[in-house]
Chain A
C-alpha cells in the first residue's frame, strides 16, 4: 500500500509538471490548470490511505470549511482585486506549512516520542519560512487592499532590526536542536518569524508589489517543500520546489523589467524619498504648464487617427475601467482605426495584471503587445491613449540620470504623434517623480476618473 501511495504522489507531481507546461500557452492553459487540479485530487485521495492517519472526522471538518471558504473567495473576488487575492492565497499556503510544522513538533516532543535531528531541523526551517510567508502575505494583501498604507514604511535601524530578528530566530532554532522540547523557545522562534515577515514587506511600496507577490509565491512553495522534509514526502518536496522555482523566475523577470537588482527592491524603500533635485525639476516643469483638453477634442484626435495604441496602467485597475476601454476600442475599430495595447511588464500591482483585466473585458490577447514588440511601433503611431499609467511611460527613465527610475525600460510613448493622457489630477505617480511626458508639447491631458473620461470619450466618438 505504501508503495502505491508513493506512486500516486509521483503521478500527482508529474501532472503538476505537465500542467505548468501547458499553462505556458493561452490555448492549452485552461487544460493545464485542470490537469494540475487532478494531480492534487490524486494526492489528497492517496493520503487518505496513509497508515499514520487514524481518524478522519477532523480532516473532514477542516477540509469542508477550507473548501467552502476557498470556493467563496474564488467565485466572488473581482478581477481588479486579483493581486490581493493571490497575495492572501500565498499566505494561507505558508500558514498551513507553519501549522503542520508546529503540530508535528508538538507530537514528536511528547514523552516517549523521538525527534530525530534532521526532522527537527526541517521543522524549524518550515516554521521560519511558513511564518514569514504568512505574515508577509497578510501585509502585502493589506497594502494592495489599501487597509495598510501602500507607501513604504521606513524607520531608523530597520535593516539592523530585521537582521537581529533573523539571527535571533535562527539562534532559537539552534537552541531547539539541543533542547527540542522547549515550548517557550519554539513560540519565540515562531513569533520572531511572524514579525520578520511584517518588517520585510512593510518598507516596500505599491509599485514594487509585483516583485513582493512573486517572492512570497516562491516562499509558499519553499515552505511546502520544507514540510515535505518534515514528513519525508517526495511529492511535497517536488511540488514545493516547482512552485519555489516559478516564483524565483517571475521575481527575476519583474526585477529586470524595472532595471533594479533584487536587493534594491527589497531594501530600497523605493518612493519614500523624493529625489533631491526633484523640487527644482518639478518647478521648472510646472512653469511650462500642461495642455488640458476636452473629451470632444480628444475624441477627434482618436477618431481621425489611422492607428491608436492604448497604454493601460494601475489607474485603469483602480477605476475598474477595462470594459470602457474595450467599448472605446470597438467604436474606434468600427471607424477603421487600428487599435493595439501596449503592456509594460510591471504595469499594475502584479505580473500580468493588465492582461487579466483586459481579458475580462474580452479583449483578444493577440492585441496585447509586450514592451519589446510595441516600442518600435510608437514612432509610426498617430495617437497614444495613456490610461492611468505614469512611471512606465516617464521619459526620465531614458534621459535623466538623476531620476530614481533612470535605466528602467519604458514604453516609448513620447515618440508617437499625439499623446492623450487620462489622469485623475496632476499628482505625481507612486514614485513621487514628475513626468515630463505630461509637459511634452505633443501631449494633452484629460483630467478625471478614467472610467468617466472613457465613457465621455466613447460618446463623443459615437457622435462624430
Chain B
C-alpha cells in the first residue's frame, strides 16, 4: 500500500469523527432536512463525474461520465432545493392566518 493511500485513509477516518461530533446533537424535528441536506453533500461525487466526463478518453468512459454528471447533479440540485423548501416551512410562530 502506497503512502498516498494511507494519507487518504487518515483523512477519511478523521472526517468520520468530525461528522459524528457535528451531527450528534441534531433535534428530531430536523431529522428529515438533515438527511436530505447531507444527501445533497454526497452529490460531491460530481467532482469525479466531471473529471470522468471531460478527460477525453474512450467513448464508453465518456458516456458513463456524462450519465454520472447528470445523476450527481440531480442529487445536488434536487437535494439542496428540496431541503430549502422544507426548511422555510419550519417557523417558531405561525404565519398570519391563511
Contact = CB atoms under 8 A, between A and B. Distances in A.
A427 interface: no
B18 A17 contact: yes
A62 B67 contact: yes
Given A19-B37, A33-B33, A103-B64, A362 B91 contact: yes
Interface string B55-96: 111101110111111111111111111111111111111110
A67 B77 contact: yes
A224 interface: yes
A236 B91 contact: no
A223 B81 CA distance: 22
Contacts of A228: 8, 12, 48
B52 to A, nearest CB: 4
B60 A231 contact: no
B50 A234 contact: no
Interface stretch (A69-77, A199-207, A448-456): A69-77
A219 to B, nearest CB: 9
B54 to A, nearest CB: 4
A99 B28 contact: no
Interface in B1-46: 1-2, 4-5, 8, 11-13, 15-20, 22-46
Interface stretch (A52-60, A267-275, A388-396): A52-60
B86 A245 contact: no
Nearest to A9: B47
Contacts of A230: 48
Contact of A223 (B42, B55, B56, B58): B42
Contacts of A13: 15
Given A66-B70, A243-B19, A24 B54 contact: no
Nearest to B81: A74
Contacts of B27: 24-26, 370
A15 to B, nearest CB: 10
B3 to A, nearest CB: 10
Interface stretch (A83-91, A165-173, A294-302): A83-91
Contacts of A365: 29, 90-92
B73 A237 contact: no
A307 interface: no
B42 A62 contact: no
Contacts of A180: none
B32 to A, nearest CB: 4
B39 A93 contact: yes
B93 to A, nearest CB: 6
Give the contact-size bracket for chain A. Answer: 35 or more
B44 A236 contact: yes
Interface stretch (A140-148, A277-285, A344-352, A407-415): A344-352
A213 B42 contact: no
Nearest to B97: A330
Contact of B47 (A25, A29, A44, A249): A44
A248 B38 CA distance: 12
Contacts of B76: 40, 66, 70
A283 to B, nearest CB: 37
Interface of B is mostly: helix
A238 to B, nearest CB: 4
Interface in A87-123: 89-90, 92-93, 95-97, 99-100, 102-104, 106-107, 110, 116, 118, 122
Interface stretch (A154-162, A353-361, A376-384): A353-361
A231 B47 CA distance: 9
A404 interface: no
Contacts of B92: 26-27, 364-366
A69 B42 CA distance: 17
B56 A70 contact: no
Contacts of B71: 66, 92-93, 95-96, 99
B81 A237 contact: no
B29 to A, nearest CB: 5
Given A350-B35, A366-B92, A89 B28 contact: no
B41 A40 contact: yes
Given A36-B37, A118-B1, A364-B91, A26 B30 contact: yes
A103 B64 CA distance: 6
B89 A359 contact: yes
29 contacts: A16-B41, A17-B22, A24-B25, A36-B40, A40-B40, A62-B65, A65-B73, A66-B73, A70-B74, A92-B74, A96-B69, A99-B65, A104-B61, A107-B55, A118-B2, A118-B5, A217-B35, A221-B38, A228-B8, A233-B48, A237-B12, A240-B12, A241-B13, A242-B41, A247-B38, A250-B23, A352-B29, A352-B31, A355-B32
Per CB-CB distance, the 9 closest pairs between chain A and chain B, nearest first, are A66-B73, A245-B19, A62-B69, A352-B31, A70-B77, A70-B78, A351-B31, A241-B15, A53-B54
Given A16-B41, A33-B40, A365-B90, 17 more contacts: A20-B38, A43-B44, A47-B47, A54-B55, A66-B73, A69-B78, A73-B82, A79-B86, A93-B43, A100-B68, A107-B55, A231-B48, A234-B8, A246-B23, A350-B32, A351-B28, A359-B90
Interface of B: 1-2, 4-5, 8, 11-13, 15-20, 22-58, 60-62, 64-95, 98
